[in-house]
Structure 1
Amino acid sequence: MRVALFITCFNDTLFPGTGKAVIALLERLGHTVEFPQEQTCCGQMHFNTGYRPEALPMVRRFAEVFAGYDAVVTPSASCAAMVRDHHRTVASQYGDTPLREAVARAVPTVYELSEFLVDVLDVTDVGAHFPHRVTYHPTCHALRMLRVADRPPRLLRAVKGIDLVELPEAESCCGFGGTFALKNPEVSTAMLTDKVRHVLSTGAEFLCAGDNSCLLHVGGALSRLRTGVATIHLAEILASTEGNAR
């Protein structure tokens, strides 16, 4: 199987360790992972804020860069959802026939990390070891668009040494929503306050999620309040082993 990592621009810029964790994890499972350096943004920010024609070059670039791969794996449910749900829309409305055909070939190969592990590789125990108390937040795109909410908990429950505790009202949004947090700061902050309260009620050392954008949002509040609760991407827990766990 020819596998590529779509790290996303957000992770590449702010959380490169997550991409490294994905590669370490998949290589441990016996797969060689390629990293096409020509990859750029998926166009989600443009599409979601109404600049849909401006997203066309990014849709075209994605289809070109990831052509020919059997699987394109990304540690971001929101970017996976953008590609799977909206690249065809952009190509159909603003592209030409060759682009529509290229997008139609590329889109079915895109998988969010937990989805790829459970549904494609048919594995839940990846040999991870993480001896900490962890609570998991299912991000909105994983929950409502990709519908893979059960995959991360299944993977986390198989991690050796982990104390996985349920997050109250886990399915509530954290309030980030990309540009939503910028355009509606008061509502976003209210939602964030609720999420932080629920996280703290678990007594967890780590808040885990499959999207670093949500972890950045919640983690900022946890840090400013000096709660001592750290955030960690799912990939980093799954990549941890007994010799290198935090």
Structure 2
Amino acid sequence: MRVLLVEDDDRVAGALAPALARRGLAIKRLASGAGVLERVHEVDVILLDLGLPDIDGIVLCRQIRAISDVAVIVVSARGEIDNRIQGLRAGADDYLVKPYDVDELVARVEAVRRRRGERAAKPEPAGVVRLGDVDVDLSRHEVQVGGQAIALSRKEFQVLALVVGARGAVCSREHVLTEVWGHRGPAESRSLDVHVATLRTKLGRPSLIETVRGVGYRLGGAFDPARRD
């Protein structure tokens, strides 16, 4: 697996790169944001530090996502919940706070790649689901509210699509975590909560996704999941 490590700290990179290489990953390293956009098509996963000398990592993450679907895992000392939300909203697939265990990082890299491989092997669902004035295009991965396009991150759309696909039935947290994150640990569970909260805010329809305490999520009763082609 080809990994691009974007890390300005020579000490961190000097310890991490060989550790990842010993675990079978092909590592390239850049010490700043310069050159990252030119290399996104050469790698499978980008490990992105946020404290870069020439550009804020959040801005760079948005730039990466604008031109590529490459997997991005933020690896940063910024551990506050606001930082994590910013990273996920910028398009990161995962967010790991320093200091971390190298084996956990490798497991997250493998999980991201595995989920992408599984999605590529599955046929995409077809059609548009209309929920009141919310249109969810499952084929094009697009959402409109009142005729206006809403920009969602990959994981935000995946969570929404799973809830929509349940057609009003409860979609369990375990199912969402397994399908979208590949893990069901505390960090992934917190990330799911963040994604659901962000979805409600972006869509402007807080009652669209209803929380079933201790179980999962379902479409709010006021939304008709009638399908149209």
- Is TM-score (shorter-chain normalized) higher than 0.5? no
So what's the TM-score if we normalise by structure 2? 0.31
So what's the TM-score if we normalise by structure 1? 0.29
Higher strand share: 2
